[in-house]
Amino acid sequence: MAGGIAYLDGPRLRRSLLAAADWVDLGREELNRINVFPVPDGDTGTNFAMTLRAAAESVRPLRRARLAQVTKTMAEACVFGARGNSGMLLSHFLVGFRESLGEVTVASPEHVAEAMRAGADHVYRGLDEPVEGTIITVARDAAEAARAAARATRDFRDFMRQVLNRAQASLSRTPELLAVLKEAGVVDAGAKGFVRLLEGIVRLMDGDPMVALTDTPAVTQPDAAAMASVTADQDYQYCTQVLVRGNALPATTVVRTSLRELGGSIVVLSTSDLLKVHVHTDHPQRVTELARSWGAVESSTAQDMREQHRERAVTQRSVAVVVDSTCDLPDELVDRHRIVIVPVQVIANGEAQLDRVEVQAEDVYRRMRAGETFTTSQPPPGTIVRAFQDALCEADRVLALFLAGKLSGTYQSAQTAAGAVEGPVTTFDARTTSLGLGLLTLRAAELVEQGRPIPDIVAELDRVRDRSGGFFTVDTFDNLLRSGRVGRGKAWLGTLLDIKPILEVTKEGRVAPLDRVRGRDALVPRILEHLERVLTPRPRRLRMGVVHADEPDVAAMLRDEFQRRFEPEDVLVHPVTAAIGVHVGPGAWGVFFQIEEPADTA
């Protein structure tokens, strides 16, 4: 983008988002260190970077797309991918930016200035109690500079330099506007993230080489987030986020009013059929229950901010756990154990979307029933590299688990990516998928938290994996037929005779036919027979899981039956992710078991 730049189109915005995401990624640990407002939980950099990364990765495939398509995709990805207070505010800015540009094909500096003003206004309106000296101040000042710059120049490079200069000056004044920043001797972390976003774009326009993401910037100031004090009455305990989908969502003012009784630091983000709320509260379950009255809850997370602060104040983690998105672990467990997710790609009509970030299983099933076909693709190596780098920002080394190498090339890509980062990364072929992978990942995270070294953890995972397994079934053969799991003759005969297959995930990591029954009603009894066979005698330490593709009643019944019959320590129940749903189709369900007896009893 060197030379005079007279307009902004889709490809240029796409490149700008990718450059900005890379530059913010590089500075995320600095942002985490200076994060003292609204609470010093030390995750503003991570949340801001991952939200921007979700937006950037969503447009990566759109190389020649129109500007309106790029902004629409960016905004939708932000709603799905927004994390934490800083991520929600960044999403507000980008949604407002998108709404202002609308269907503009080629944007002038005037268009962009107006879009920045709309973005800053969107941020301000999204906050229940706006506080100056934060991102709202810097975004507003940058927007004012953009309006003046649009009158003074037609060159986007000059335009963006003027915007950046004003944003940097505004950032330097944030300690004068917010006492907690002045006391800690830092600028606002979210505001600095916004400035880094602008810096990344200007660096791209100037043709500066991007600093490799494996480079670690020198620490120039102490960890203010770790040093700051947190008291019980300073703020609420849980940073809670809920994503709701519905056709008759309440107005954001109504949502904010309802949430005020449950907490503070409220941020509400709404589109036509999606609503995302962020609130600090002592009662995350009550927030989720309230959200269910608005529509269908698609995800809900609650992070213990006081525990985050304590962990940051004590030490950096020794090991971070990474897993791909087919693990089907609930978000609350992913957040509790600080597991990093690598999203698989879900592809429809030539367009790739990130699993668990941009596309959800419910949407896939709806479109399947309307006749659309889908496929999946492994994460690009660069996505896996960035996930490893994210993890290495928070830990000394990485343990990464991936779905069976015989089912996908993701594990092989992960091995390649591990050699492209500066830091120790151990990859592990789980030889399973869905909650089989999820249960193994959960065990790995628990062993990490016990302080076990990676060689010991890998040895234990090997042992547990060999004593674990899973069975699943599908309602129709269509998706298995497309994936080559059954021949056309068998699929036709199965449909004609109402034959339902029972498949197993073998110890080698393949999917193989195990049994078949006639009719849906015979499936549960037969699968219970197979579980009785493999779980006799009863293990002393057993975990089980149930996954389903739009079959919550079957899943709930199986959970109750497992608890009565097998008395496991845990029974996880979760819908399959979109990447799994593509291959099994609506109506499918599966069960997994993991035997974790100590080695001397195995």
Tokens of 150: 């649009």
318 three-state secondary structure: strand
Q: What is the mean pLDDT of residues 313-342?
A: 84
For the chain, state the CA radius of gyration: 25
Rounded Cα distance between 543 and 328, Å, is 15
Q: What angle do CA 51, 54, 59 make, to 5 degrees?
A: 135
Rounded Cα distance between 504 and 510, Å, is 8
Asked if the model's pLDDT at residue 315 lies above 80, the reply is no
Asked if the model's pLDDT at residue 456 lies above 80, the reply is yes
* Residue position matching structure tokens 């709603």: 79
494 three-state secondary structure: helix
Assign domain 238-306 one CATH number from 3.30.70.980, 3.40.190.100, 3.40.50.10480, 3.40.50.300: 3.30.70.980
What is the sign, positive or negative, of the torsion defined by CA atoms of 68, 70, 75, 80?
A: positive
Asked if the model's pLDDT at residue 383 lies above 90, the reply is no
pLDDT digits (tens, 9 = 90+) for 535-562: 999 998 999 999 999 999 999 999 999 9
- Phi and psi angles of residue 357, each rounded to the nearest 5 degrees, phi first: -115, -55
Rounded Cα distance between 595 and 602, Å, is 9
Could you tell me which residue, 454 or 250, shows the higher pLDDT?
Answer: 454
Q: What is the mean pLDDT of residues 385-400?
A: 88
**What pLDDT is stored for residue 599 in this prediction?**
55
Q: What is the mean pLDDT of residues 455-470?
A: 95
Asked if the model's pLDDT at residue 306 lies above 70, the reply is no
Burial class of residue 369 in the structure, from the number of CB atoms within 10 Å of its CB (0-12 exposed, 13-18 middle, 19+ buried): exposed
Tokens of 359: 């596309």
pLDDT digits (tens, 9 = 90+) for 190-249: 899 999 999 999 999 887 644 433 333 333 344 333 333 334 334 677 888 888 888 888
Q: What is the mean pLDDT of residues 89-116?
A: 93
469 three-state secondary structure: strand
Asked if the model's pLDDT at residue 442 lies above 70, the reply is yes
CATH 1.25.40.340-classified regions of the chain: 10-210
401 three-state secondary structure: strand
Please name the amino acid found at residue 249. Answer: L
Question: 94, 119 in Cβ contact below 8 A?
Answer: yes
Q: What is the mean pLDDT of residues 449-456?
A: 92
Crossing angle of helices 156-172/109-126, nearest 10°? 30
In 3D space, the residue among 336, 339, 269 whose CA is nearest the CA of residue 305 turns out to be 336
Rounded Cα distance between 569 and 353, Å, is 36
Asked if the model's pLDDT at residue 418 lies above 50, the reply is yes
Question: 86, 194 in Cβ contact below 8 A?
Answer: no
Asked if the model's pLDDT at residue 494 lies above 50, the reply is no
**What pLDDT is stored for residue 493 in this prediction?**
40
Q: What is the mean pLDDT of residues 44-61?
A: 87
Q: What angle do CA 242, 247, 251 make, to 5 degrees?
A: 65
Assign domain 315-465 one CATH number from 3.40.50.2000, 3.40.50.10170, 3.40.190.10, 3.30.390.10: 3.40.50.10170
Rounded Cα distance between 392 and 213, Å, is 11
Indicate yes or no: pTM above 0.75: no
Rounded Cα distance between 602 and 598, Å, is 6
CATH 3.30.70.980-classified regions of the chain: 238-306
Asked if the model's pLDDT at residue 486 lies above 70, the reply is no
**What pLDDT is stored for residue 186 in this prediction?**
85
Question: 344, 323 in Cβ contact below 8 A?
Answer: no
**What pLDDT is stored for residue 349 in this prediction?**
80
The band of 478, judged by pLDDT with boundaries at 50, 70 and 90, is low
Q: 543 to each of 441, 472, 547, 594, how far by Cα in Å?
A: 12, 17, 14, 5
Rounded Cα distance between 163 and 183, Å, is 28
Asked if the model's pLDDT at residue 600 lies above 80, the reply is no
DSSP structure string for 193-243: HHHHHHHHHHHHHHTPPPPPTT--PPP-S--HHHHS---TTTS-SEEEEEE
Q: What is the mean pLDDT of residues 399-416?
A: 92
Could you tell me which residue, 511 or 226, shows the higher pLDDT?
Answer: 511
Q: What is the mean pLDDT of residues 493-514?
A: 78
**What pLDDT is stored for residue 588 in this prediction?**
93
Could you tell me which residue, 458 or 26, shows the higher pLDDT?
Answer: 458
Percent of the chain with pLDDT over 90: 44
Q: What is the mean pLDDT of residues 368-390?
A: 86
- Phi and psi angles of residue 212, each rounded to the nearest 5 degrees, phi first: -60, 140
CATH number 3.30.1180.10 is the correct assignment for the domain at 469-601: yes
* Interstrand relation of 340-342 and 317-324 (parallel, antiparallel or unpaired): parallel
Question: Going edge to edge, which strands form the sheet with 340-342?
Answer: 340-342, 317-324, 395-402, 425-429
What integer best gives the mean pLDDT of the chain? 84
Q: Which helix (H) or strand (E) holds 402?
A: strand 395-402
Question: 361, 549 in Cβ contact below 8 A?
Answer: yes
End-to-end CA distance of the chain: give it in Å, rounded.
62
pLDDT digits (tens, 9 = 90+) for 155-182: 999 999 999 999 999 999 999 998 888 8
Q: What is the mean pLDDT of residues 353-369?
A: 84
Rounded Cα distance between 65 and 14, Å, is 9
Asked if the model's pLDDT at residue 319 lies above 70, the reply is yes
**What pLDDT is stored for residue 108 in this prediction?**
94
Please name the amino acid found at residue 347. Answer: I
Rounded Cα distance between 410 and 195, Å, is 35
Bridge-partner residues for 360, per DSSP?
none
In sequence order, the 6+-apart residues with CB closer than 8 A to the CB of 366 are: none
* Interstrand relation of 511-518 and 499-505 (parallel, antiparallel or unpaired): antiparallel
- The 3-state secondary structure of 515-572 reads EEEECHHHHHHHHHHHHHHHCCCCCCCEEEEEEECCCHHHHHHHHHHHHHHCCCCEEE
Q: Look at domain 10-210 and name its CATH class.
A: mainly alpha
**What pLDDT is stored for residue 472 in this prediction?**
93
Residue 511 CB-half CA count within 13 A: 22
Answer whether the bond into residue 424 is a cis peptide, omega within 30°.
no
pLDDT digits (tens, 9 = 90+) for 12-33: 999 999 999 989 988 887 888 8
CATH 3.40.50.10170-classified regions of the chain: 315-465
DSSP structure string for 82-136: --HHHHHHHHHHHHHHHHHHTT-SSB-HHHHHHHHHHHHHHHHHHBSS--TTSHH
Burial class of residue 414 in the structure, from the number of CB atoms within 10 Å of its CB (0-12 exposed, 13-18 middle, 19+ buried): buried
The band of 480, judged by pLDDT with boundaries at 50, 70 and 90, is low
pLDDT digits (tens, 9 = 90+) for 130-161: 889 889 999 999 999 999 999 999 999 999 99
Question: 244, 259 in Cβ contact below 8 A?
Answer: no
Neighbouring CB atoms inside 10 A of 153's CB total 15
* Residue position matching structure tokens 């042992």: 463
Asked if the model's pLDDT at residue 314 lies above 80, the reply is no
**What pLDDT is stored for residue 77 in this prediction?**
86
**What pLDDT is stored for residue 431 in this prediction?**
96
**What pLDDT is stored for residue 542 in this prediction?**
95
